[in-house]
Amino acid sequence: MISIYKQMSLRTNLSTWMVFSLPLLSLPGILSQPTYKWKDHQTNEIHECQQCPPGTHVAEPCTAGKQTVCKPCPENYYTEFWNYLDSCLYCNMFCNSLEEEARPCNRTHNRECQCKPGYHVEWDFCQRHSKCPLGSRVMAVGNPREDTKCTLCPPGTFSYLVSSTEPCRAHQNCSAQGLEVNVPGNRFHDTFCTSCKLSQEDRGDRPGMEVCQEALIDFIPYEIKSVRRLNRLKRIVSRSLPSGMNQKTSYEELQVELHRYLTRLKDTEGADSVFKKLWGAIGRMSLQHLQEKIKKRFPIGL
């Protein structure tokens, strides 16, 4: 791939005449009308002729009685600098499937390509933009020249998506909604609120059992802070066989993953069914401390 970025440092398409024939060129601003020496082979006289401006080439060199005759480049041909070329250069740059045309071929420039949206250039190849992991936000959206830049979500905000565009979102305020905090938020997930009475006092006006079961389903994944135990809990609940664990995955990411799975399961099987599976699973895992904490926290008659 040769693209607009490559052209910044090396005009490969000009190499056949630019590298080996530097006297041909005179950059704009050095001379307003650059010249070159040309020998008339009929008279053997050497003339100092004017070069042709960008977008043209030499049709006829100068003589003692006339100036250089320049001719515009035809379609699909160009000259970028002052020159004394006999013909223009062919626009030989073509965009590949991951590129788009940044500037079309014209009389003064070769075609220029850049990576399509969603890609950036890296070592002269278009690479897909990186996605920011859970708990982080996009600090700078990727562009054709640079990859996505990520940074951690600041306190009070979270991001539960792997994304190349999403910002962090503010935690919800439970008290403003007349609810209690069930699970405090962190940079990986939102605060989870509930109308289930979590405190030991004032449980007279208790909501329905399902509300507290849903609160418990939100609560359990975030109380387990072990990659091994989170994976085992999911295997027991889903009745799946053990699989290789990704050791690079943090327990915070697994908590979010497990909670998403339980939420989907609740939507299909109901809160009561999922609650019973969870309660049985933590019993099989001998998590007595968690069972005792749940009994004290949730008024569901365990």
Residue where a domain stops, chosen among 109, 142, 169: 169
CB atoms within 10 A of CB 145: 14
β-pair type (89-90, 69-72) = unpaired
Q: What is the per-residue pLDDT across 267-294, written as a single tens digit (0 to 9) for each?
A: 999 999 999 999 999 999 999 999 999 9
- Helical H runs in 112-248? 209-219, 227-238
The per-residue pLDDT for 239 is 86
Top-confidence residue, 193 or 19: 193
Main-chain phi, psi angles of 82, to 5 degrees: -60, 140
Query: Is 288 among the domain residues?
Result: yes
Residue 258 pLDDT exceeds 80: yes
Q: How confident is the model at residue 302 (pLDDT cuts 50, 70, 90)?
A: low
Residue 198, helix vs strand vs coil: coil
What is residue 161's DSSP assignment?
A: S
Main-chain phi, psi angles of 125, to 5 degrees: -125, 150
Q: What is the per-residue pLDDT across 153-190, written as a single tens digit (0 to 9) for each?
A: 999 999 988 998 889 999 999 999 999 999 999 999 99
Q: Are residues 92 and 152 in the same domain?
A: no
Query: Is 163 among the domain residues?
Result: yes
Q: Are residues 214 and 181 in the same domain?
A: yes
Residue 197 pLDDT exceeds 80: no
β-pair type (136-140, 125-128) = unpaired
Mean pLDDT across the stretch 209-229? 93
Q: Domain containing 150: what range?
A: 129-169
Total number of domains in the chain = 3
Q: Are residues 22 and 92 in the same domain?
A: yes
**What share of the chain has pLDDT > 90, as a percent?**
72
Q: What is the CATH number of the domain that holds 163?
A: 2.10.50.10
* Nearest to 54, CA basis, from 100, 108, 109: 108
- Helical H runs in 20-118? none
Residue 6 pLDDT exceeds 50: no
Q: What is the pTM of this model?
A: 0.66
Average pLDDT, the chain: 86
